[in-house]
Amino acid sequence: MTANNRIELMAPAGDFESLQAAIDNGADSVYFGVEQLNMRARSTVNFTIADLPEIARRCGSKHIRTYLTLNTIIYDHDLSVVKTLLTKAKDANITAVIASDQAVIAMARQLGIEVHISTQLNITNIETIRFYSLFADTMVLSRELSLRQVKSITEQIIREEIKGPNGNLVEIEIFGHGALCMAVSGKCYLSLHSHNSSANRGACKQNCRKKYTVIDQESGFEIEVDNEYLMSPKDLCTLDFLDQVIDSGIQILKIEGRGRAPEYVATVVKTYRDAIDSYYDGSFSKEKVVIWMETLATVYNRGFWSGYYLGQELGEWSAVPGSLATQKKVYVGKGTHYFPKANIGQFKIEAYDIKAGDKILITGPNTGAQELVIDEMFVNDQVCDKATKGDHCTLKLPFRIRLSDKLYKIVEA
C-alpha cells in the first residue's frame, strides 16, 4: 500500500525497457519474472538472477516496491533453483515474492521474504484468506469475482482484523487491466494437450487466440457462433469504473502485460496513474474517461471489457487474432551518439523516413519508452525537414539516449 493510503498501482516488467517505462510513468510497484519459473517464461525476455540487484537499485531509488513472480507449478528438480533464486532475491532486497506452490511459500517464509499469494490459487472467499494469512501478507483474488464479492472480502478483513505475518491487515490485490484467459484464473491445459507445452509452467502457446468452429460430431451440424475467436477474451479494462474499483477496498491494482512492449507499459501505467490521481483529487469525470480510453486504445489491445467485476455472467470475445491498437510503431534507426551539453541525440536512419512533425518513440534498457513529436531536426549537420535511409539525424531531446536505443515512428494502424 502506498504511504498516503492510496491504492498501489502495480506495473509489469518483462525487460529493462519495460521496467524503466514503469518507473518513469508513475508505478508504485513492479512485478517481474526471472528465467523459467514464472507464468510468462516464454512470452517475454525475462530477467536473470544477476539482474536482481539492478532491479532493486532502480526501483529502490524511486521508492518503488519490487515483486518477484515465482508462481508456476514446481517439480522436485526445481527446488534447488527455487532456493537459489529466493536467496538471491533476499540478498538483493527484493520486496516480496508472488507464489502459488506451497514449497515456494515455505522457502520464502523461512528466508524472511514477504509472500503474496498468486491468483493461481483462486482465492474467492474469506476462509481462504484466513488460512493463507498464516503465511502471506497480500492475496491476489480470483479474476472471476464481482466487485460486490471483492468488497465483501475487504470489509470482513477489516471487521475481523485478519492480519498477515507482518502484523498488518491482509492486503488485497486484483487485476485491473490487460489480457484475460478463457480458463479460471489462467489455469489452462489447452496448450499442454495440443503442444505438450504447459501454461502452468509459463509456456502457453496461446492457441486459444486462433479461429475455431464448433461441430456436432453426431450430426455433422456446424453450430453457428457470433465470433470465430470463441476462446479469446477481450482485454480487461477497469478504467471507466475505476471509482467503483477503489471503493471496493482493495489495496493493489495490477496491470497485466509482462509480454507487452515498453510503450504499452508506459501508456497504460501513465493513463491509470492519471485516473487514480484524479479519483483522489476529486476530478475523475466521464469526460476524462473518454480521453483515457482513447489513449489506451492506441497500444496493443484485443478490445476492452469489464471482466466479471460488474456481474456479467458471460465473457466478451475478441473479433481479431491480434491487436486492435489504433497506432503502431515502425522501426526507423538506432542511437549513435549523445551530446550532453546540448541535450542532442544522434541517430542513424536505417529503415524508414522521418520528418518534422512526426511522432516518434525511443526505447532502450535505460531510456524506457519515450514519445515526442519532432519539432526541428538536423540531417548531416544541416537543418532539414526530412531524414531518409543512410542519413545521420540529430534531435533536441529532454532525456539522454544510449547506443542501444531504438528509434521508431508512430503511425496510424
The angle subtended at Cα 372 by Cα 7 and Cα 29, nearest 5°, is 20
* Three-class SS state of 34: strand
Per-residue pLDDT of 182-230, as tens digits, reads 555 555 656 555 665 555 555 555 655 556 666 766 776 665 555 555 5
Which residue's entry shows cell 453457428? 224
Residue 353 CB partners (closer than 8 Å, separation 6+): 332, 386, 387, 388, 389
pTM above 0.95, yes or no: no
Per-residue pLDDT of 60-73, as tens digits, reads 999 999 999 998 88
Cα–Cα separations (whole angstroms), residue 54 to 60, 92, 106, 187 = 10, 9, 26, 32
Which residue's entry shows cell 532456493? 83
Cα–Cα separations (whole angstroms), residue 59 to 16, 26, 122 = 11, 11, 29
Per-residue pLDDT of 263-274, as tens digits, reads 999 999 999 999
Residue 102 CB partners (closer than 8 Å, separation 6+): none
- Strands 344-349 and 96-99, by their bridges, are unpaired
Residues 396-402, mean pLDDT to the nearest whole number? 94
Query: Do the Cβ atoms of 330 and 411 come closer than 8 Å?
Result: yes
